[in-house]
Amino acid sequence: MAMNISFRGSSLHRRAGDFRKPLRSALQRRARTCRVYANAKADALLEQAKGKYKSGDRMTAMRLFEQTLEQDSLEASQRHAALWGQLAVHASFGDVELAQMVLRDAVQAGLDFEAAQQDPAFVEIQSSPQIVIQLGRFNKQVQRRLANQADERASMAAAAAKAERRSGGSISKVSSDMDLNDLLGPSDKSKQGLDASPAAIAGRVALVLLAGVILGVALFFLGLEFMFPKGMQ
């Protein structure tokens, strides 16, 4: 009897698996279809944006580039083209700072600035040579900064690994503690000697204000004494 029940259970399990396979395949096909549709829509938006940019309608081009970046499942090339388009619009208006902000995001996303300038799939930056040179210099600064950050992360990982070997702790725990200390400040253990009650906080604020008033009055009279010495008639 037990063997019969076991056989039925395994049979039901196989049937459930048979039902899950078509469902999984259907979901995968639907996901691929959605990605293809999203990519096609992004391509269409990019083409419209490029056309508006070339015709001189930069504001409409900017909106279309922004709409492209709002699409889901963007490919890297589409994201690069949209960011580059925004950069070109800002540069054409002479907004160097905004162009640099977009360039920073683009470089972080993997854009090659020098290659993008020669890529016919990207719009041409229609701005002064000085702005283009300035953007090129900024691009090199961002690349150096990213390289330094990568070196720092590697050094931190090596230090965390050494600390883990010595203390038997966790690398992720050491790294997360360092990040939290940078963001949130020291832990509560270092604040145990500080009274955080409302009355204590109000008292400390009152002392600071009183000290500021006394110091201000003293400086005022000192200034009068300096400007009008007693010996002056």
Label residue 116 left, alpha or beta by phi (over 0 means left) and psi (-120 to 50 means alpha). alpha
Q: Which residue has the higher pLDDT, 13 or 229?
A: 229
Q: What is the residue type of 145?
A: R
pLDDT in tens, 68-95: 999 988 999 999 999 999 999 999 999 9
Query: Which DSSP category does 70 fall into?
Result: T
Q: Which residue has the higher pLDDT, 157 or 107?
A: 107
Other CB atoms within 10 Å distance of the CB of residue 139 = 20
* pLDDT averaged over every residue in the chain: 77
| Token couple for 9 | 């259970």
| Token couple for 168 | 């038997």
| Token couple for 74 | 């963007």
Q: How far apart are CA 201 and CA 203, in angstroms?
A: 5
pLDDT band at residue 199, thresholds of 50, 70 and 90?
Answer: low
pLDDT band at residue 207, thresholds of 50, 70 and 90?
Answer: confident
Domain ranges of the chain: 16-179
pLDDT cut 90: percent of the chain above it? 43
- Mean pLDDT score, 46-65: 96
Query: Which DSSP category does 122 fall into?
Result: S
pLDDT in tens, 105-125: 999 999 999 999 999 999 999
Query: By mean pLDDT, which of 36-45, 84-93, 155-164, 197-206 is the weakest?
Result: 197-206
CATH number for the segment(s) 16-179: 1.25.40
